Structure 1
């Protein structure tokens, strides 16, 4: 099973390297909604890549304090969600904002371990950033600490270019909305997120890094 998992990762990485038409740096600022001192979101960390094709990410995140853990437990007691906001910047684009959320209880049971996925078009445009908790067959209890380190794995998910209708000669400006232009990419991502959530029963917990 482990060998198959790493083989799948290699195949995905090869697809990203060979199929992307674009290469450049990528920066993802991660904010979250807990222990923010009255603000809606505050800093959790940052993911940076010097090259999208190379795919090597540097992840820098703050340690959680007992205040973070207590707030997560309060949200989990209400069967609520831990919400994250990502601000994505590339060499050729302005800052783009995405929202994602995971069950607070599942995040705690996974010992603050999660998987971050950036969905990338062949032209290098990031169209979504998602968070999931790692699959595990048992819960991991957090021991009492002054600080709690996060354990995150980051992956680039390559989104293949769908066929488009042929246009008549001449440059035509595409005035369609974002959803109208990219629904065929967003739907598979939504299905992936739902399947990932379904494979994470609330009693189950995390895989470490």
Structure 2
């Protein structure tokens, strides 16, 4: 089973790597809002790759302590959110800030297991980062059995294909060729008679209909 998981992960990385035009290092500094004292965000860890194309992520994170768990449970009582701030750096760009969040209750029920995905353009630019709670068949209740609680995070890179751009230059050239052909009389108009002159026919037809409604023919007298 372990070997199958490794093979599956390798295939997944390879499929995404094929679509990338750029390769280089990627570093994601991960911060959160738990047990930060007077700061809004404080360090949770980092995710780094030596190669976006083929690299395997190295995830280095802190362990939660009782303070983290207690604060997380208080947030969960009011159905609040657990937020992450990620600072993404590549060889081409520095510290792109992205905020993501999940429900604190669901994060607790997952046993502190989450999934982080980075959405990367073919040039290596990270345009989005999402945080998702790992699916669990049954909620996991965290008990106070130790002073540290391990985070279980999984990281994926997702390739984003850019939308095709309209071929504006070719379209303009086509319009210019048609204009020149019309001016030279080379472009024949193959439209039907109605298609050519409907703007003249329709007003006449409406006028005839209105005139007929305004001046109805007198009804024939009944035979004696």
Shorter-chain TM range is: 0.7 to 0.9
Q: State the distance in 2 between where 1:121 and 1:7 align.
A: 25
Residue 67 of structure 2 corresponds to which residue in structure 1? 67
Any unmatched runs of 5+ in structure 1?
170-209
Corresponding position: 1:87 with 2:87: yes
What is the TM-score with the length of structure 2 in the denominator?
0.70
**Cross-structure match for 2:161:** 160
What does the per-residue CA deviation read over 1:89-108, in whole Å, with 9 as the maximum and x for residues that have no partner? 00111210000001100110
Q: How does 1:45-64 map to 2 (within 5 A)?
A: 45-64=45-64
Structure 2: any 5+ residue segments left out of the alignment? Answer: 171-224
The offset of 1:10, in angstroms, is 5.2
The answer to whether the 8 A contact 2:14-2:54 is kept is no
Structure 1: how far apart are the matches of 2:163 and 2:55?
Answer: 23
- Give the CA RMSD over aligned residues: 2.2
- CA deviation profile, 1:178-198 (whole Å, cap 9, x unmatched): xxxxxxxxxxxxxxxxxxxxx
CA contact 1:15–1:158 (8 Å) conserved in 2:
no
Partners of 1:126 and 1:67 lie apart in 2 by: 33
- Report what 2:78 is aligned to: 78
1:109–1:140 contact (8 Å) kept in structure 2? yes
Change (3 A) 1:8 1:167: farther
Closer, same or farther in 2 for the Cα pair 1:96/1:42, shift >3 Å?
Answer: same
Q: CA deviation at 1:165?
A: 2.6
* Structure with the bigger percentage of strand: 1
The alignment covers a number of residue pairs equal to 168
* Residue of structure 1 equivalent to 2:135: 135
Aligned to 1:27: 27
CA 1:48/1:138 → structure 2, altered by over 3 Å: closer, same or farther? Answer: same
Deviations 1:53-103 (A, max 9, x none): 113000000111100000000000000100100000001112100000011
Q: Name the counterpart of 2:147.
A: 146
Higher helix share: 2
Divergent runs of 4+, >6 A: 2-8
How far the C-alpha of 1:34 sits from its partner, in A, is 1.0
Deviations 1:112-163 (A, max 9, x none): 0100101111110000111101111101121212011101011001111210
Task: Report which structure shows greater RCO (CA 8 Å, sep ≥6).
Answer: 1
Which residue is equivalent to 1:116? 116
**Mapped contact 2:116–2:130 kept (Cα < 8 A):** yes
1:80–1:104 contact (8 Å) kept in structure 2: yes
Q: 3-state SS of the aligned residue for 1:93?
A: coil
